[in-house]
Chain A
Amino acid sequence: MKRFLLLAFLASVAVGSAAETSLLNVSYDVTREFYKEFNPAFAAEWKRRTGATLELKQSHGGSSKQIRSVIDGLGADVVTMNGVTDVDQLAKAKLIPADWAARLPHGSVPYTSTILFIVRKGNPKAIRDWSDLARPGVQVVIPNPKTSGNGRYSYLAAWGYALRQPGGNDASARDFVRRIFANVPVLDTGGRAATTTFAQRGIGDVLLTFENEVALTIKELGADAVEGVVPSVSVLAENPVVWIDRTVAKRGTAAAAKAYLEFLYSPAAQELAAKHGFRPSDPAILAKHAARFPALPLFSVPEVFGSWEKAQTVHFADGGVFDQIYARR
């Protein structure tokens, strides 16, 4: 009897895995609303194409926490992140090939974002550009670059701005970034916490955050409390997506996972991305929403820093430039 039950159990497991029709998307914090709308759209599309029902699950959290879970065994079929460094960790752990970025269009980046400013209503400190952040007496809220993608992009954007100034070099950029961080009263651990510090606690004159978070914050607080500021130049924040080879091979979900990510590039999905404040990679759709996405020159991290890995080790590793900036104060 016992053996029969065991066999029955094993059989049901086998049948269950043969008819596996679910995908787990492991993502970071602020894509929750976007994928909540995207998933039903893809499920409908998949049903139309194959006739099969696909169950889509999502998991959200701080980006490196999410990546650590995937490395430690969370069975993610696809990972949708806000930084190349995080996805590179998956390649280092041999979950995906090293050339993952080449497998999908635009370097596997279906939508992008950038870092913009939020200031108090009327912009009392007249903050227009990065140089204003380094002025004495201006308080700048940036989350910790060592713990948040948000802070990392803000830091790199400031550095890139300084390099582009006349006579700009590594030394001047370092001094510029040091002066900005001397103006940071609170180093929150995550982007959302920084928004709370600025918005609810009334700390700081300007908050640096992702474009989609800027729109959300202004909507939340009302246009009579805060306003957005577009600097002269900023950084291109890439949101790479990848399917996890090891998981999809084991679960037999390779086709569905690949189709899921490819669907992110479809016009319908690109429209959805725009709706949620992400810049679509499709130029036609980006142009259509030009009012929402101000045109400003955006430099990519590899363009200015050589590669993500280099930026990471030079600036944010222990004892790197960011640590040195604080040690010298």
Chain B
Amino acid sequence: MPSSRSSRSVLPGFGLSLGFTLAYLGLIVLLPLAAAFIKTAGMSWSDFVAATTSPRVLASYRLSFGASFAAAAVNATFGLVVAWVLVRYSFPGKKIVDALVDLPFALPTAVAGIALTAIYAKNGWVGSWLDPFWASAVGRLDAALPGVAWKEWLGVKIAFDRPGIFIALTFIGLPFVVRTLQPVIEELEPELEEAAATLGANRWQTVTRVLLPELFPALLTGFAMAFARALGEYGSVVFIAGNQPLHSEITPLLIITKLEQYDYRGATAIAVVMLVTSFVLLLLINLLQKWSRRYHRV
């Protein structure tokens, strides 16, 4: 892989374009983030620790990161299937299905939240049968495997409980995985699979040894984007979460709660913790992606 500067590009202008890149990122991304850090800098260390590590805030980190991770993982799995089908097969109505994928991008999140709540509430189309089913399933799990607070972890309802949060986060994250994978799958030629088959690989081996390693970096990118999006999501989740302290309160809600009390510093302190954690996680995912690319392309 050629390094960035040594290969001479046909087009000049590295200095200029890099200048624009840095100025643009600085203005659009770093400046607002810096404001959060500056606001927090006015706090004493003990205030900062108190604001960001109270039991309620810690519970919300666990929920926000956990639910976002679960939703992104589900999206990575099923988004891969969707992207594969959309690239490799043609079927009537494909254009419409393809356009549907983008819908969660375009829909205002509050609309998504209200629509999802209407469907999954106990008097909604899906909630009316899924709600009792979920309650009894979790109840049985609780009886079969005591010692784990299943009802606490999985919730006993769909809407207004943890499953609702997971559903909302899955909904908003789907397009990220599909749209990152599609161009990569388009570049994978079907000959690759044929070659694998002629060399004696069975179907399972073709998928796990030939296709997945090629798709893995893009899959990770899609996962990371869906995860990051889910972490910051507020609008759709608050309608469906039930917002019970220590149980179904997401971190962005706590930030808003602090703002409602005119506690700007407390709000930005939590925001800073979220920012730093997400940045570290995204950096790790990027490194993992780089590693997997190097590992698989000898």
Contacts and interface: CB of A to CB of B under 8 A. Distances in A.
Given A89-B262, A144-B243, A189 B121 contact: no
Most chain A beta-carbon contacts within 10 A, residue among B114, B238, B258, B259: B238
A201 B242 contact: no
Given A189-B256, A327-B55, A318 B243 contact: no
Most chain B beta-carbon contacts within 10 A, residue among A68, A89, A144, A186: A186
B282 interface: no
B122 A327 contact: no
Contacts of A64: 259-262
B117 A201 contact: yes
A2 to B, nearest CB: 28
B243 A188 contact: yes
Nearest to B263: A318
A67 B124 CA distance: 37
Interface in B227-278: 238-239, 242-246, 253, 256-263, 266
Contacts of B54: 318-319
A202 B121 CA distance: 8
Interface in A177-214: 185-189, 193, 196-197, 200-203
B266 A318 contact: yes
A62 B260 CA distance: 9
A34 interface: no
A interface residue count range (under 10 / 10 to 19 / 20 to 34 / 35 or more): 20 to 34
B122 A318 contact: no
B136 interface: no
B123 to A, nearest CB: 4
Interface in A51-69: 62, 64-65, 67-68
Given A318-B266, A319-B54, A187 B244 contact: yes
Interface in A226-260: none
Interface string B42-62: 000000000100111000000
Nearest to A188: B243
Nearest to A62: B260
Interface in A107-165: 144, 146-147
Interface string B103-123: 000000000001001100111
A323 B56 contact: yes
Given A64-B260, A200-B118, A202-B121, A187 B243 contact: yes
A147 B256 contact: yes
B115 to A, nearest CB: 12
26 contacts: A68-B259, A68-B262, A144-B243, A146-B260, A147-B256, A186-B242, A186-B244, A187-B242, A187-B245, A188-B238, A189-B243, A189-B253, A193-B239, A201-B121, A201-B122, A201-B124, A201-B159, A202-B121, A203-B121, A203-B122, A318-B263, A319-B54, A323-B245, A326-B56, A327-B55, A327-B245
Interface of A: 62, 64-65, 67-68, 89, 144, 146-147, 185-189, 193, 196-197, 200-203, 316-319, 323, 326-327, 329
Interface of B: 51, 54-56, 114, 117-118, 121-124, 159-160, 238-239, 242-246, 253, 256-263, 266
